[in-house]
Amino acid sequence: MSRMRFVDEGPPPTIGKVVLTRLFDLLLLCGYVACLLLTYSFFASLNHHPPESKKPAVAARTKSAPPPSPALTPTPPPLPTSQDLIEAMHRYANLINDKKYTEALAMRADNSIPVVDTLKSVTHFEVVSVKPYPRVKRDQGSIYVELKVERGKNIKTWKGRVDWEQRGERWVTTNWDGAALTPGAETGAGPAPAGTQPVVEEND
């Protein structure tokens, strides 16, 4: 048999090269392990702590909430117009014209209430015009009226302020003032003292 020939692989590695090779392999392995530990720690922190970006959003919503509005005081209802006083004045005139003298006298609570015979002598009682004064109370008010009173062929007029007051379900007169100024021409003076007699002037 012929002698087998082996390929010459060069000189064997030295101890220094072997140590360096093993040290490099060890460092590479440690790098893999460190990367694995860092990756595990990162995912573990995501599972245990909510994202920090949500906290400012909650704070922002809390700051933007408007403060509670204070309780509003109820607005008092507006005072009524003087239509109720105007209707009461016309009702008084209609009662006299219908010869319902007792009911007409029940609407008088002033100090110049006429007697029944005086009302019976009236053949026609007419409210020519009415102008209300500014209203200050719901159950009180005043109007400026022009009245025409006929007693047969004798026709007289009366102009002045009539003060009304609500008592129960009905309106009654509390004062008649023939010297009062018309609405808008007043200087702030109140009604004339109770007991002023209505002035009836002869029509020209």
Tens of pLDDT, residues 141-193: 999 999 999 998 999 999 999 999 999 999 999 999 999 999 987 554 444 44
Q: Which residues contact 181 (CB under 8 A, 6 or more apart)?
A: 187, 189
Q: How far apart are CA 142 and CA 108, in angstroms?
A: 14
Q: Is residue 2 situated within a structural domain?
A: no
Q: Is residue 115 situated within a structural domain?
A: yes
Which DSSP state fits 73?
P
Report the run of H or E that residue 103 belongs to, with start and end. helix 101-105
Q: Is residue 9 situated within a structural domain?
A: no
Claim to verify: residue 101 and residue 33 sit in the same structural domain: no
What is the extent of the structural domain holding 52?
Answer: 15-62
Q: How far apart are CA 35 and CA 132, in angstroms?
A: 97
Domain count, the chain: 2
Q: Is residue 164 situated within a structural domain?
A: yes
Q: Is residue 72 situated within a structural domain?
A: no
Q: For residue 165, what is the domain's CATH number?
A: 3.10.450.50
pTM of the complete model beyond 0.95: no
Q: Is residue 188 situated within a structural domain?
A: yes
